[in-house]
Amino acid sequence: MRNNEFAATMVEFLKVYEAIGFEFLPISGKDEIFSSQIEPDSVTEPIDNSNEVMTLQAIRHEIGHCKRCKLHKTRKNIVFGEGDAKARLMFIGEGPGADEDEQGRPFVGRAGKLLTSLINKMGLKREDVFIANVVKCRPPGNREPEQDEVKACIGFLKSQIASITPEVIVTLGTVATKAILATDRPITRLRGEFKDYKGIKLMPTYHPSYLLRNPSAKTVVWTDALKVLKELGLEAPAPAENAGA
């Protein structure tokens, strides 16, 4: 078969799949949206979602068995994120820790339990929100992600935000806030007041790991959470205790 005949045949083949609802060709094996086991061949360039809104499944497929930065050398699992694909509220941290790397899920360690407690005190469940990180692989020793690592991964997070279209985003800590807002201002000067991210209200607040070291700051985070609830048109549960208490 000549090249032009082969191309024409492939076009018709793909049209059939498009007509029955496939967004990309099916792959063999179990296809789970948020599983770190979906690992097609990696590519070297981050995605450009400037003109396209991708589904979470397509974003996970695009990440593949990612080798776009050096974090892939030491990770156990890619931590894509989890929750409601159309959540009204999205939480964003900086990167997975040891427990998250082991389980392939975001915020499941000590800091994660504190975040879950905060979500519950807001009258919500983890399944009601979406939880993600700036980088999808654990930085060694739980260090902060480096600039090149953030640059390699931030496009996927922005694609997740575009897909979910939350009404409110809560950034947890300095790294996440700076990455999303492209600012150098410290979290102490940013938290507690809504910012704008592409028309979405964004509330910067302290990271749960900071609260583990500074329990007195839980009341401050709870104050931020109450502002988020008000923005969402939700009533604060009673009694309104401080976050993580």
- Give the pLDDT band of residue 20 (cuts 50, 70, 90): very low
DSSP 36: T
Q: Which two tokens stand for residue 189?
A: 């000067």
Q: For the chain, how many structural domains are there in total?
A: 1
Query: Does pLDDT of 15 surpass 50?
Result: yes
Query: Does residue 4 fall inside a structural domain?
Result: no
pLDDT (average), residues 45-56? 66
pLDDT (average), residues 94-98? 98
Query: Does residue 3 fall inside a structural domain?
Result: no
Query: Does residue 45 fall inside a structural domain?
Result: yes
Are the beta carbons of 180 and 197 closer than 8 angstroms?
yes
pLDDT at 22: 47
Place of tokens 């329990």: 215
| Domain CATH for 78 | 3.40.470.10
Range of the domain at 194: 27-232
Q: CA-based Rg of the chain, rounded to a whole angstrom?
A: 20
State how far the Cα of 162 lies from the Cα of 49, in Å rounded to an integer.
9
Query: Does residue 192 fall inside a structural domain?
Result: yes
Place of tokens 């994660």: 112
Query: Does residue 10 fall inside a structural domain?
Result: no
